[in-house]
Structure 1
Amino acid sequence: MTRLSVNVNKVAVLRNSRGGRDPDVVAAAVACLDAGAHGITVHPRPDARHIRTDDVMALAGLTGQRGVEFNLEGNPFAPPRPGYPGFIALCEAARPAQATLVPDGDAQLTSDHGFDFERDADRLQPLIETLRAIGCRVSVFADAPLDPHVAATQAAAAARSGAQRIELYTGPYAEAAAHGGKQAASVRARFAAMALAAQSNGLGVNAGHDLSQANLAAFLAGVPGVLEVSIGHALISEALHAGLAATVRAYRALVDAQAQGRAPGSGPA
């Protein structure tokens, strides 16, 4: 079964644009969980452009009370600075169920690539050991290479780092899916190959970035064994029109239908 984790970063973007507490990030997370989300994701950045350290701690408390997954994303190599203690220190304080490591720089608008594991595995390894020692499951952001041989070597190196899962960076798939046809099928096959390579090396597979109601079902149908999808930007955008609870329920219907081998809308979720 694929689990749905809702990324509430965009709620914090809207709050920070005005100041104050509204919209409330924790209240939004509660609405998502009440509507059926399996967990909550945030990606705090050192410049606090959206999620702040206090949000992380508040959401850690909420998810702990609810007994649901808290997935904390970030660059483990970004140095600490005022207001941001560093990713490892933040995980030590919040104790998320899952820590997802992402190689994003300060200047990036959003995450747009995975690690080069052949290059980065050795320096990731001690950080991953630290995170696992405090009880975090560790996932690492990964691309889906064009060459299946590269996918195999990247997956093996990711496993060597000590990570337990990869998160497939699905931006290229979403871009191809927007155009449809053979291009989408071809790109989706790349992701299936990377997923299989990861699984053959003992890694679980998550996925996220630009997944939406328009492309999620086809992705899950074409990429085997996806354990979790983390969705924020599209879901919050859709919720502006349809309402947050209704939008989360729609995503749950998509992931539940895939697990049960039926088409969305063909019966109760």
Structure 2
Amino acid sequence: MIGAGFTHLAEVGSTNDWLLARTSELPDGHWVIADRQTAGRGRRGRAWGDGAGNLMASVLVRAEGPMQQLSFVAALALHTALAASGGQGGDPPVPRFLLKWPNDLLLDGLKVSGILLERSGEALVIGLGVNIASSPDTTERPAISLAAAGLPAPAPLDLLARLMPAFAEYRGLWQTQGFDPIRTRWLARAAGVGDRITARLGTETLEGVFEGLEPDGALALRLDDGQLRPVHAGEVFAL
């Protein structure tokens, strides 16, 4: 249905770990999807539940350049794949799916998916999880699933069939034209630009206005004293 560029597993500890252990064997662009994941994780080592009927997939990337920018490529691909499930609601219509820096996708303001980048030598593995049928209830911030939001809940393989070509398209754009067109498209789908946020940076917490993205993908935070502070790593929350 999708082609030869993916492996479908009934069960695995982690799709990221599975690919990381095989970076020397598998080609660039190879995907893995699992029906069940027993040791999944999100950012900062947080557990990622393996809810049946959800998407648990990873892709192997070999590329030159600042590969951390591929988190924005993956986010755009997820947005494209999921927005087909019902991208707008309300009167007047407003987007239901929005992107949250650095690597989340929101549905009606709640987390519906996440992205995890991990490196092994020159290879990068990007893990993507989507709450299709269910969402965890132990997350720091509330999560939601497509089903709970009243949207069609595609089979994980059907969602992967939409995700793979979208990722290939945005990755090709990044490789040929650089980060700027990715940045522009990401900002057009971003949540909270112009709003006040809190940014947690390890032992430091900052408040300010989310002004957009720096040319390298850092979050541009306008502090209350007028200083523009680039945030390269951390977690952000709306105030």
Q: Which has the higher helix share?
A: 1
User: Fold-level match, TM-score > 0.5?
Assistant: no
Question: Could you state the TM-score of these two structures normalised by the residue count of structure 1?
Answer: 0.26
* Greater relative contact order (Cα < 8 A, sep 6+): 1
Q: Which has the higher strand share?
A: 2
Question: Could you state the TM-score of these two structures normalised by the residue count of structure 2?
Answer: 0.28
